[in-house]
Amino acid sequence: MSIPLQDSVPEEDATRLTRSFKKLALAELLSGHRGVTVRETLMIGTSGHWERAYFVTLKLHPSERIETAFGLSVSLRNPARVSSFIHSTLTDRSNVP
């Protein structure tokens, strides 16, 4: 897709505009070194039975790098919301065969 811009638009503004149209994959934000770590353990579940529990840690690139590369500001002001999103994503298995 191409978007014609006026010649008077500075290159920095044009770059910022193109970034706003791009879909961003989570993998692009993850650090290349230990970007994803998973820890498995056995725990007693609410039913009283032993269950496997997985703890997933995502390590992002430094916020300065993300802001420079993608024009995004990284802010986790509400970690509970992030945790809730991840929990609901992992527990919603309605679309998994």
Q: What is the pLDDT of residues 12-26, one digit of tens each?
A: 888 777 777 777 788
pLDDT of residue 14: 80
The DSSP-derived string for 2-32 is -----TTS-HHHHHHHHHHHS---HHHHB-S
> pLDDT-derived band of residue 7, with 50, 70 and 90 as boundaries?
confident
What are the counts of helices (DSSP H) followed by strands (DSSP E) for the chain? 4, 2
Structure tokens at 88: 């609901």
Amino acid letter for position 41: T
pLDDT of residue 90: 53
d(CA 82, CA 53): 19
Q: What is the pLDDT of residues 31-72, one digit of tens each?
A: 888 899 999 999 998 899 999 999 999 898 888 888 888 777
Q: Are 36 and 56 in contact (CB under 8 A)?
A: yes
